Structure 1
């Protein structure tokens, strides 16, 4: 399946951007969470278009991909918001967003904003040997971690990639026992201690709640 910024299918959900007032340009790894927050909060003024999640394997490509999407959709929306953190771009995405005059999610990566950037920063000094998984990465562990690193073909590479890690932290956005067990299996496969930490949506929810419809009136 080819993922582009017009349609992304995740867990059977097809995204087809329409005529809302605020467009979210997001990483495909966040599609399920964004759609859930839109639905439960009735944020109908928010539209969503996603870039391929696999861009995280090539973070240097993210700024140009975001720029292309902003320029392509800018004339159709009152406001555009970029639902990426820095995500390994070394500040380049922030510079791109500044040049385009659009805002983005603050923080270094989604692991940080799911937990809450302030709380994640407090843990930094004690969790530098932790490997993080979100709901999306638990579901897509083989496609985004195991196979791209060649561990399916060369399990001896485990020590090369993960020799300095001590634990796997599953940052759960939802309460799903099946995902917990799958995450535990991922930890076992990597020979890491397992920790299940329920973060919910963290700063992602806070940021989305702040995106009011530009033409709306609030008392």
Structure 2
């Protein structure tokens, strides 16, 4: 199943006790894997476009619309976003709407574990997840104009010293692609196997 199919996956309400996950499309593959591995049949999934990863200003308005759309059709709604660059606006909106959300500043933090990530205090690392390795050209290379203007690399990445690939899965092909991403950005490479981190903990606790 490709990422486009996963992002489009939205399961209809299926009865009492159901919880709707309103999630970032970049997390669709991971959420489906967690659901299947833990038999979480009471969790339904609806994703917002993954490209909101690059446009955090679109997250809160879109989520407000979706919460209003599905309110009353589920026993609860859980927002599978961290702050994700909204500057606290997402947390405020969730409180106003009466829905819970995932803890943490962003996906890099909750995949590694929020406490572990905070303790690292890494300011010179550029992070990629499984999704961002797969979608590197669409979400990093082309939006930053590096294909057309490679001279911009130093402007964007001159203060980074390494690319950290946070691997959710053991996939040799993805690891090779992540290493290539580091080479293209002129950064040293580090791979950390995180699994699903606090994402899995939060979903299995619902």
Equivalent residue for 2:202?
207
Give 4+ residue runs of structure 1 displaced > 2 Å after superposition.
11-14
Cα distance in 2 for residues equivalent to 1:164 and 1:153: 21
Equivalent residue for 2:177?
182
**Quick one: which of 11, 33, 37 aligns to 1:17?**
11
Matches within 5 A, 1:28-177: 28-124=25-121, 127-177=122-172
The alpha-carbon deviation at position 75 of structure 1 amounts to 1.9
TM-score, normalising length: structure 1: 0.90
User: What SS class does the counterpart of residue 21 from structure 2 fall into?
Assistant: strand
Q: Which moved more, 1:111-120 or 1:14-23?
A: 14-23
CA RMSD of aligned residues (A): 1.3
Task: Structure 1 unaligned segments of length 5 or more: list them.
Answer: 1-7, 212-219
Q: Which moved more, 1:188-197 or 1:55-64?
A: 55-64
- Contact 2:111 2:195 (C-alpha < 8 Å) held by counterparts: yes
Cα distance in 2 for residues equivalent to 1:9 and 1:134: 16
User: What SS class does the counterpart of residue 209 from structure 1 fall into?
Assistant: helix
Cα distance in 1 for residues equivalent to 2:126 and 2:2: 27
Q: Deviations over 1:160-212 (max 9, x none)?
A: 1001000000000000000000000000000000000000000000000111x
Task: Structure 2 unaligned segments of length 5 or more: list them.
Answer: none
User: What SS class does the counterpart of residue 156 from structure 1 fall into?
Assistant: helix
The alpha-carbon deviation at position 19 of structure 1 amounts to 1.5
Count of residues paired in the alignment: 202
Q: Deviations over 1:33-90 (max 9, x none)?
A: 0000001111000000000011122111211111111110112111000000000000
User: What SS class does the counterpart of residue 76 from structure 1 fall into?
Assistant: coil
Structure whose residues are more often helix by fraction: 2
The alpha-carbon deviation at position 16 of structure 1 amounts to 2.9
Cα distance in 1 for residues equivalent to 2:164 and 2:204: 27
The alpha-carbon deviation at position 9 of structure 1 amounts to 6.1
- Contact 1:25 1:82 (C-alpha < 8 Å) held by counterparts: yes
